[in-house]
Structure 1
Amino acid sequence: MSTFVVFDLEFTSWPGALEQDWGATGQLREIVQIGALRLSEDCSVVEEFEALVQPMANPRLSAYFTDLTGIDQETLDREAISPSEALGEFLGFCRGESVLSYGNDMVVLGENVGWARARGEEVKNGYLAAHFLNIRPWLNTLAPETATVNVGRLWQVLGLPKPAAGEEHSALFDCYSFAAALEYLRGTGAALPEGCVRRPYSG
């Protein structure tokens, strides 16, 4: 069975960070939550991946981030794992797959892998075993009504049933919203863009 992965990240943020491209002193896009789904060709869910990640430079979450995502400090302190462990497990989940994002989350992923390695930590698995692709431009072209919304609202603007429990800005819920949009477009006869099929890995 051919499969592919969709993923979403939640990362540290503060009021105005998006508008300033995280340019303020000390504001880094440290991953706090990773969500991913392995999907079959018909966009049905085969497997889930979810991890809470402990940020290192800013271990205390901002109130802004907690209000946005619902992730509070107590939950983070109790359940989060180290960045190197979370990143290694996620890249292992992606091994041998095409990995789709709604936006350039792979850039943030790369930043976090780089920081972990700069701290001297081993990140098991790597990018070469997966094929990352931002398909937001393709999706927005086929469904122009999605152009101004985040991934967690795709299901709403397309008039689809709520795809899972939870709310937007939860990484795994956002993946379900993403998957619902892909399934909807597939139902209209659209084919995923080139590069979204499973790519065998020989390394």
Structure 2
Amino acid sequence: MSTFVIFDLEFTTWPGALEQDWAAPGQLREIVQIGALRLRDDLTVAEEYEVLVRPVVNPELSPYFTGLTGITQEEVDRDGLSPAAALGDFLTFCRGQSVLSYGNDMVVLGENVGWARARGEEVKSGFLAAHFLNARPWVNTLAPATADANVGRLWKVLGLPKPFAGEEHSALFDCYSFAAAIRHLYAGGAALPAGCF
């Protein structure tokens, strides 16, 4: 049975960082949480993936980030993996798959892999073993009402039942919201984005 992966990231942020494209000194988009779902060809969930990551440059989470995501400093300090370990593990999860995000999360993923390697850390697996695709244009074209929606709100904008326990800005919840949108559009007759399988 064919599968593909959808994923979402939560990364360090501060008030105004999005509007300034993280251009303020010292503000990097360091990954703090990775969520992913492996979907079968019938769009049911075959496997979940979720991990916390300890940021290096900004190891102390901003109150803004914690308020947005609900992820606490204690959780990251206790359960977070090193960036190299988390990234390598996630890229292994993606090996041989098409990997969809709602936006250019693969760019943030690439930045974090680059920083880990620049620190001399080994990241097992790599991008070449997976095919990354931004599916946001596909969703927004088929459902124009989603154009201004973040991934965690797709289910609500499309009038769908809440897909999973939790709230937006939790990477795994956002993946379930994204999966609900994909299933909804596919059930309405849309072809999946080219390259899913």
TM-score (norm 2): 0.99
Using the aligned pairs only, state the percent identity.
77
Q: How many pairs align?
A: 197
Paired position in structure 2 for 1:27:
27
Paired position in structure 2 for 1:194:
194
Matches within 5 A, 1:6-155: 6-155=6-155
The offset of 1:108, in angstroms, is: 0.1
The offset of 1:84, in angstroms, is: 0.3
SS in 1 for 2:113: helix
Paired position in structure 2 for 1:171:
171
SS in 1 for 2:189: coil
Task: Provide the alpha-carbon RMSD of the alignment.
Answer: 0.5
Runs of 4+ in 1 over 3 A off after TM superposition: none
SS in 1 for 2:117: helix
The offset of 1:195, in angstroms, is: 1.5
CA distance in 2, matches of 1:181, 1:42: 14
CA distance in 1, matches of 2:157, 2:194: 25
Paired position in structure 2 for 1:161:
161
CA distance in 2, matches of 1:76, 1:85: 14
SS in 2 for 1:60: coil
CA distance in 2, matches of 1:99, 1:120: 26
SS in 2 for 1:186: helix
CA distance in 1, matches of 2:152, 2:38: 17
CA distance in 1, matches of 2:77, 2:30: 15
CA distance in 2, matches of 1:72, 1:91: 25
**One-letter amino acid matched to 1:70:** G
The offset of 1:193, in angstroms, is: 1.9
The offset of 1:194, in angstroms, is: 1.3
CA distance in 1, matches of 2:146, 2:66: 25
1:19-69 deviation per Cα after TM superposition (whole angstroms, max 9, x unaligned)? 000000000000000000000112110000000000000000000000000
The offset of 1:196, in angstroms, is: 1.6
The offset of 1:164, in angstroms, is: 0.4
TM-score (norm 1): 0.96
Q: Return 5+ residue gaps in structure 1 as ranges.
A: 198-203
